[in-house]
Amino acid sequence: MIQNCPVVETRLTLSIVLATILAAGVVAGCAGGDAFLPGESEVPRAAPDEHPPAPPPPPAKWELASALPSLKVLQDTYPSRGHGVGDLRARLLANDTAAAAFDKLIRGDHMPQGSVLVSQQARRADGTPDGLFVMVKREPGFFPAGGDWEWVAVGPDNRIRARGQLAPCARCHADAAVDFVFPRPVPQP
C-alpha cells in the first residue's frame, strides 16, 4: 500500500468531495419535491415567480405577397384538387419568367430558374381567400428530389406556414408530366 502519496490523497479527497456534493443534491432534490422522475423532461420547471417563456413570433409574411397583383393569370377559377381541405377553387398565377415558359413545356424540359407559380386558393361557396401554394424554381442542386423547386404554403393572411424542400409537395408534383408542373387545368363552371 502506498502511504503519503500526494496523487492518491488528491484523488481520494476529490472522490469524497464529489460524493458529498452528489448526496447533498439528491437530498435537496427529494426534500424540495423538484427532483426528476424517470421519463420526465430534463428541463427544469420554472419557479412560480418566474415569467413563462415568450410565445414564438408570428410567421413571417411571404416576401412576394405584395407582387401578387402584378403576376399574370395563367388560369382563372379551376377546382383545386390537391390542396387544402374542402371545396376550393383556385387561380393559377405566374411571374413573367414562368409565364413565358409555361405553355411551351414539353416532356424533358425544365422551367427556368427564377420561375414563380402561385395557386391562389379560395372557398368555392363564398370566395373567401384560403391561402396560396407557391413554387419557386431555384438553382440546380437546391432540391434534386423536388425538381429544384422551393415550395411555400402561405396562409390567407400572407404569412408563411411552411417553406423549403417540402417532401409532401414534391411527392405529389412528381406525378406531373413535366418538371413537377401540372398543365393548365381544364376550365369548369
Q: What is the pLDDT of residues 17-62, one digit of tens each?
A: 334 444 444 444 444 444 434 444 455 555 566 777 777 777 899 9
Fill in the amino acid letter for 21.
Answer: I
- Mean pLDDT over residues 131-155, rounded? 96
**Residue with grid cell 415567480, as numbered in its chain:** 49
Q: How far, in Å, CA of 79 to CA of 121, rounded?
A: 9
Q: How far, in Å, CA of 136 to CA of 115, rounded?
A: 6
Higher-confidence residue of 77 and 136: namely 136
Q: Is the pTM of this model over 0.75?
A: no
Q: Any idea what DSSP says for residue 86?
A: S
Residue 158, SS3 per DSSP: coil
Q: How far, in Å, CA of 5 to CA of 66, rounded?
A: 77
Model pLDDT, residue 93:
95
Q: Determine the longest span between alpha carbons in the chain, in angstroms.
A: 98
Q: Which three cell numbers stand for residue 13?
A: 479527497
Contact indicator for 107, 177 with CB cutoff of 8 Å: yes
- Residue 94's DSSP bridge partners are 72, 117
Q: How far, in Å, CA of 154 to CA of 90, rounded?
A: 14
Residue 10, SS3 per DSSP: helix
- Reported as a single tens digit per residue, the pLDDT across 64-122 is 999 999 999 998 877 777 776 567 888 999 999 999 999 888 888 999 999 999 999 99
Residue 88, SS3 per DSSP: strand
Decide if pLDDT at 188 tops 80: no
Decide if pLDDT at 159 tops 90: yes
Model pLDDT, residue 17:
39
- Mean pLDDT over residues 2-15, rounded? 44
Contact indicator for 10, 2 with CB cutoff of 8 Å: no
Residue 163, SS3 per DSSP: strand
Model pLDDT, residue 22:
40
Decide if pLDDT at 183 tops 50: yes
Residue 148, SS3 per DSSP: coil
| 153 confidence band (pLDDT: 50, 70, 90) | very high
